[in-house]
Amino acid sequence: MFLFLVVALAVVVAAVTLAVVGGGEGTGPLPEAAPQRLHDPLPVDRPLNRADVDHLRFPLAVRGYRMDDVDDALNRLAAELAERDTRISDLESALAGAQAAAPHVSMEKPAPEDHQ
């Protein structure tokens, strides 16, 4: 049994050695693979919308997603959300100020009988 294992090990070592030494002649090293990049980047000419986020797909890298692409997209989303939150807050403050200055002004339509 021991002799069989030694012979099998020698055959495996010989096969690997031939594959490594003999298989590499004339081919040279493998070319560098170009890293995958984000195919449909987020638009830079307009604010993001829900469809942009829904269609966002990050390419896989050796260890998962490319962290740079994910970080860039998340930073952009965070900045735009903060900008929108500030704008909403400003508009709500302006609306509250306008309503406090003129509490008797109603935004409702007048009833039909008021037109007589």
Mean pLDDT over residues 35-57, rounded? Answer: 78
Structure tokens belonging to residue 16: 């690997």
Specify the range with the lowest mean pLDDT, choosing from 33-37, 54-58, 60-64, 98-102: 33-37
Look over the chain and give the mean of its residue pLDDT values, rounded to a whole number.
79
Distance separating alpha carbons of residues 27 and 34, to the nearest angstrom: 19
- Write down the pTM of the prediction: 0.46
Distance separating alpha carbons of residues 14 and 99, to the nearest angstrom: 89
CB 76 within 8 A of CB 42: yes
pLDDT band at 10 (very low <50, low <70, confident <90, very high): very high
The answer to whether residue 77 scores a pLDDT higher than 80 is: yes
Angle at 43 (CA atoms; ends 64, 62), nearest 5 degrees: 10
* Residue count of the chain: 116
Contacting residues for 58 by C-beta, under 8 A, at least 6 apart: 38, 65, 66, 69, 70, 73
What's the confidence (pLDDT) of residue 65?
78
Q: What is the DSSP letter of 46?
A: S
Distance separating alpha carbons of residues 77 and 84, to the nearest angstrom: 11
Distance separating alpha carbons of residues 58 and 114, to the nearest angstrom: 60
Q: What is the DSSP letter of 69?
A: H
